[in-house]
């Protein structure tokens, strides 16, 4: 039996995160938010399937108006992610129970305003409308001021020997960013928040959350592997990270992010349940289970996906690149322009979807935009080229 730690307990709508509450399962609606009837229907179905908190994407006034309609049609607990637009907080807060902000994004809008002022504003909104906050740190959008901190180069290459000293130098920017924000929130007397520190690499998720939990055992943690990809790999990566942490008693809420269609999002809840069942039974996955050397990541898709073919494209790419599974490259497939251009920068082969075309990148270098029917062939050719270079280098 796992002994769960006892953190602060925060109220989120009709439920709680932390304290002695059971681990809260979260997911996200991926319908178009402005289609409020479809989104409310999706939210209600996800709540019936066992999600205790459901995120809805909100980008603009149409989405805010839709959120008001969704609120009328559901009693489920709702959250939103502010992405870069922290000013939306006051408009969405009346309709939701939790707001997530990202310390790496909060710099972008009004760059001359200190981040502390922006967070104070978010706290004022949270107090006024009785909502909780999540400080959501993500490896794909690290606070730029933290990147120079004790960083030893490749942010996604984690030593497999468990050398904590070396590994800490990699996850330090994530950790430093989270710690800075929780210290600030505490200093202004606001404690109704949880923290997430996500990476697409399961081992990084384990190490950085474990360390954060050591330093701040009082703060509830939202666990997740970002861009884990389509099942079954997305489930495997999530199990590798989350089962270890939960077995150590760490983690008060969780989301398994899977690249699946909008009407299949209940798979995220089923995967979360599987993880909790395994942990409760003491039957966790062997942490040394190897992952293929070819790392394929993809976003879970959401309302912002610019073409409904994204999920199928991500799946096709997994199949089309099976031949390269033993090569140490990274492929990233992202559903839209919000996170696509930035999060593909660190991949060897990056694809991010536009309305009609898919943008293909070689690292941070754009290669071109291609139709949904032709981009897989182009991506495979790029990958083969990299494999040829790799083989040539390793022959000599």
Which parts of this chain interact with ligand SF4 (CB under 6 A)?
299-302, 304-305, 334-336, 338-340
Nearer to ligand SF4, 54 or 336 (CB): 336
Measured between alpha carbons, how far is 76 from 65 in angstroms, rounded to an integer? 18
Identify which of residues 245 and 336 has a Cβ nearer to ligand SF4 in the complex. 336
Q: Which of 184, 189, 207 is nearest to 197 (CA)?
A: 207
Residue 160 to residue 174: CA distance in whole angstroms: 19
Minimum distance of ligand SF4 from residue 43's CB (angstroms):
16
Question: Smallest distance from the beta carbon of 110 to ligand SF4, in angstroms?
Answer: 21
Q: Which is nearer to ligand SF4, 230 or 324 (CB)?
A: 230
Q: Closest separation between CB of residue 56 and ligand SF4, Å?
A: 12
Smallest gap from residue 314 Cβ to ligand SF4 (A): 10
User: Which CB, 236 or 262, lies closer to ligand SF4?
Assistant: 262
Q: Give whichever of 301 and 346 is closer to ligand SF4, judged by the CB atom.
A: 301
Q: Other C-beta atoms within 10 Å of 44: how many?
A: 17
d(CA 259, CA 271): 12
Which residue, 253 or 259, has its beta carbon nearer to ligand SF4? 259
Q: What are phi and psi of 27, to 5 degrees?
A: -155, -175
284 or 351: CB nearest ligand SF4: 351
Cβ of residue 298: shortest distance to ligand SF4, in angstroms?
A: 8
Interhelix angle for 266-280 vs 233-247, to 10°?
40
Q: How far apart are CA 130 and CA 79, in angstroms?
A: 13
Q: How far is the CB of 134 from ligand SF4 (least distance, A)?
A: 16
CB of 267 to ligand SF4, least distance (A): 15
In the complex, least distance from residue 46 CB atom to ligand SF4, rounded to whole angstroms: 16
Distance in Å, CB of 328 to ligand SF4, minimum: 24
276 vs 299 by CB, closer to ligand SF4:
299
Nearer to ligand SF4, 244 or 301 (CB): 301
């Amino acid at each position: 039996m796992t002994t769960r730690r006892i953190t602060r307990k925060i109220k989120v709508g009709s439920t709680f995160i932390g304290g002695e509450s059971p681990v809260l399962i979260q997911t996200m609606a991926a319908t178009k938010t402005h289609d409020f009837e479809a989104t409310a229907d999706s939210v209600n179905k996800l709540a019936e399937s066992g999600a205790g908190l459901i995120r809805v994407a909100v980008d603009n006034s149409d989405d805010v108006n839709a959120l008001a309609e969704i609120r009328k049609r559901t009693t489920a607990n709702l959250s939103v992610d502010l992405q870069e637009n922290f000013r939306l907080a006051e408009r969405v807060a009346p309709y939701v129970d939790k707001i997530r902000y990202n310390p790496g994004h909060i710099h972008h809008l009004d760059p001359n305003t200190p981040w502390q002022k922006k967070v104070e504003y978010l706290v004022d909104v949270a107090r006024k409308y009785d909502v909780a906050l999540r400080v959501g740190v993500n490896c794909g959008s690290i606070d730029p001021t933290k990147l120079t901190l004790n960083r030893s180069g490749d942010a996604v290459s984690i030593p497999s020997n468990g050398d904590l000293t070396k590994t800490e130098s990699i996850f330090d920017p994530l950790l430093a960013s989270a710690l800075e924000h929780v210290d600030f929130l505490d200093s202004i007397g606001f404690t109704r928040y949880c923290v997430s520190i996500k990476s697409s690499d399961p081992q990084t998720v384990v190490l950085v959350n474990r360390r954060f939990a050591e330093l701040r055992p009082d703060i509830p943690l939202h666990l997740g592997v970002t861009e884990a990809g389509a099942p079954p790999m997305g489930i495997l990566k999530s199990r590798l990270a989350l089962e270890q942490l939960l077995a150590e008693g760490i983690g008060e809420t969780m989301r398994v992010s899977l690249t699946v269609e909008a009407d299949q999002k209940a798979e995220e809840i089923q995967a979360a349940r599987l993880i909790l069942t395994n942990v409760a039974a003491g039957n966790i996955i062997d942490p040394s289970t190897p992952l293929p050397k070819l790392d394929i990541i993809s976003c879970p898709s959401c309302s912002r996906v610019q073409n409904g073919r994204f999920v199928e494209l991500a799946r096709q790419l997994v199949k089309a690149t099976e031949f390269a599974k033993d090569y140490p490259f990274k492929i990233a497939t992202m559903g839209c322009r919000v996170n696509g251009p930035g999060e593909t920068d660190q991949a060897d082969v990056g694809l991010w979807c536009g309305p009609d075309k898919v943008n293909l990148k070689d690292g941070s270098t754009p290669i071109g935009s291609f139709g949904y029917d032709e981009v897989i062939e182009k991506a495979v050719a790029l990958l083969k080229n990299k494999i040829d270079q790799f083989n040539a280098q390793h022959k000599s």
